[in-house]
């Protein structure tokens, strides 16, 4: 297990368009595992490769304990409905904002074995998938939210 440094907003790397993963090999799987460790360590529910400085089209999402999605070269092939929810981002610490996202999405992607998978996500899982997908095109949720605000920690 290895933790990677999370790239923070303001770094131009987060604004680049990522390139597809050419081959899902052990090196890619090792990076994905590091991304999961880094995400869990930071108490996040998703992390995209550019957030650890890798300009590749892949991300990990885990909105439920014991459920991890490894999403490589994703394509959103269907969207349905709309929902508004609060989002944050490990690259924009201590801020939050409301973003409108599809209620349901269907994603075609490769899994960690390089096999094609179809992911059907709704509610918060759809939000997380869309948020991470945007990272691959250099888009941050703060570009879409109108009410980005600092999270005020309550002092004891
Ligand atoms: Ni993010």
The reply to whether 132 belongs to the active site is yes
Q: For a pLDDT cut of 70, what percent of the chain falls above it?
A: 98
State the number of CA atoms in the 13 A half-sphere of 47 facing the CB. 28
pLDDT score, position 84: 96
Query: pLDDT digits over 94-130, tens only?
Result: 999 999 999 999 999 999 999 999 999 999 999 999 9
Cα of 114 to ligand 1 centre, how many Å? 24
Mean pLDDT on 73-94: 97
Could you give the domains of the chain? Answer: 12-150 (3.90.45.10)
Ligand 1 centroid from CA 32, angstroms:
16
Is there a contact between 121 and 105 (Cβ–Cβ < 8 Å)? yes
Rounded mean pLDDT of the chain? 96
């Amino acid at each position: 297990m290895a933790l990677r440094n999370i790239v923070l907003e303001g770094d131009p790397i987060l604004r680049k368009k990522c390139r597809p993963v050419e081959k899902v090999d052990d090196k890619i799987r090792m990076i994905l595992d590091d991304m999961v460790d880094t995400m869990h360590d930071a108490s996040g529910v998703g992390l995209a490769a550019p957030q650890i400085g890798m300009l590749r089209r892949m991300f990990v999402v885990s909105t439920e304990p014991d459920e991890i999605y490894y999403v490589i070269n994703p394509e959103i092939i269907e969207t349905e409905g709309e929902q508004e929810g609060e989002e944050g981002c490990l690259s924009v610490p201590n801020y939050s904002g409301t973003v409108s996202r599809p209620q349901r999405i269907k994603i075609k992607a490769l899994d960690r074995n390089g096999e094609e998978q179809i992911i059907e996500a709704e509610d918060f899982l759809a939000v997380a998938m869309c948020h991470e997908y945007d990272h691959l095109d250099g888009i941050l949720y703060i570009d879409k939210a109108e009410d980005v605000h600092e999270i005020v920690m309550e002092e004891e």
